Amino acid sequence: MLFPNNGNRGFSRAFLDDEQPQLILRTRRQPVAQQRQQLEEEERARRRGQLEPNLQRVEARVEELLRQPANPRNPETRLFPVINTPSSPGEQLFQRILLQEQALHDEEERTIRGYYTSFNKALQDYLDTLAKSSTLKEKIDALHLETAEEKALFEKFVDPVSFDYMILPVSLHENYFDLIGLLRCFCSNQQNPLTRTSFQLLEIASARHLFSEQFDQASRALKELREGTHSASNQSTSSSSPAARPA
């Protein structure tokens, strides 16, 4: 006999002496879920490697701004807690948008990559616009409000939403959104509740035009108030002068 009379143990031991068959047998014994998880991790790593340069540019921009002196009135410093996570700047946002748990078809992957690119560009343009813009506080200070009546005209502009044009709200496709809520919907791939279409941060505009008309109205009211006060003061002065008294 070629093998001992002990079943197939002799053949099995001889076969398992080779390293590669052992690897094959161990692979076949792996649970299907574990194999699927391993493939998904490899796919995410591949996708991440392709998009790593873009993430590095975003992180560099965030870190550059975070190194600047903290200013609670600076819209840029107020934005970054949204995308600055304990791991690294932009990391969680990057994972939520690109590294989905399920495998993506090529078209879906291009769409998600396009979303991320559009978001990155729109965010950068938005920050650049804010950096060049005058704030509402500067405009209000330039008016040199003195009396309580004058200050009351602009009281509604000095609030957490409109004080510095803030990040909130933002205009997207002629609708206004809370930016943090918008980012959450965008990252979770939810639909725009108004249009029932997917979010695409393509044309983020600051909220300045949301307040400009009301601000102009308040400025006109201030001008009329001051003109009325000045006219009343002149009339009071003229009536109290000796020349204006009857003989």
Split at pLDDT 50, 70, 90, the class of 207 is very low
- Rounded Cα distance, 30 and 55, in Å: 35
Residue 151 lies in a domain: yes
**Domain coverage including residue 194:** 89-229
Reported as a pLDDT band with limits 50, 70 and 90, residue 221 is very high
Yes or no: say if 197 and 139 are a contact pair by the CB < 8 Å rule.
no
Q: Is residue 127 part of a domain?
A: yes
DSSP string, 119-180: HHHHHHHHHHHHHHSPPHHHHHHHTT--SHHHHHHTGGGSSTTTTT--S-SEEETTEEE-HH
Residue 70 in domain: no
**14, part of any domain:** no
CB atoms within 10 A of CB 135: 17
Query: pLDDT above 70 covers what percent of the chain?
Result: 19
Look up the CATH number of the domain holding residue 216: 3.30.40.10
Q: How far apart are CA 171 and CA 179, in angstroms?
A: 9
Look up residue 73 and give its amino acid. R
Q: Which of 86-90, 153-157, 226-230 has the highest average model confidence (pLDDT)?
A: 226-230
In the numeric block, the tokens 């495998």 are attached to 103
More confident position, 202 or 234: 234
Least confidently predicted of 5-14, 180-189, 229-238: 5-14
Residue 141, pLDDT above cutoff 80? yes
Whether 176 is covered by a domain: the verdict is yes
Specify the amino acid at residue 93. L
- Kindly report which listed range (116-120, 132-136, 165-169) carries the lowest average pLDDT score: 165-169
Please give the DSSP secondary-structure letter assigned to residue 207: T
Top pLDDT among 49 and 127 is at 49
Establish if 1 belongs to a structural domain.
no
Residue 50 lies in a domain: no
Total domain count, the chain = 1
pLDDT tens profile 51-96 = 555 555 555 555 554 455 544 444 433 333 333 333 433 344 434 4
Using pLDDT thresholds of 50, 70 and 90, give the confidence band for residue 16: very low
State the pTM of this model. 0.32
Task: Count CB atoms within 10 A of the CB of residue 220.
Answer: 11
pLDDT for 37: 76
Residue 241 lies in a domain: no
Q: Which of 157 and 67 is assigned the larger pLDDT?
A: 157
Tell me whether residue 47 is exposed, middle or buried, using C-beta atoms within 10 angstroms of its C-beta: 0 to 12, 13 to 18, 19 or more: middle
pLDDT in tens, 96-115: 433 333 444 555 555 555 55
Q: Note the pLDDT of residue 96.
A: 40
**Which is higher by pLDDT, 233 or 123?**
233
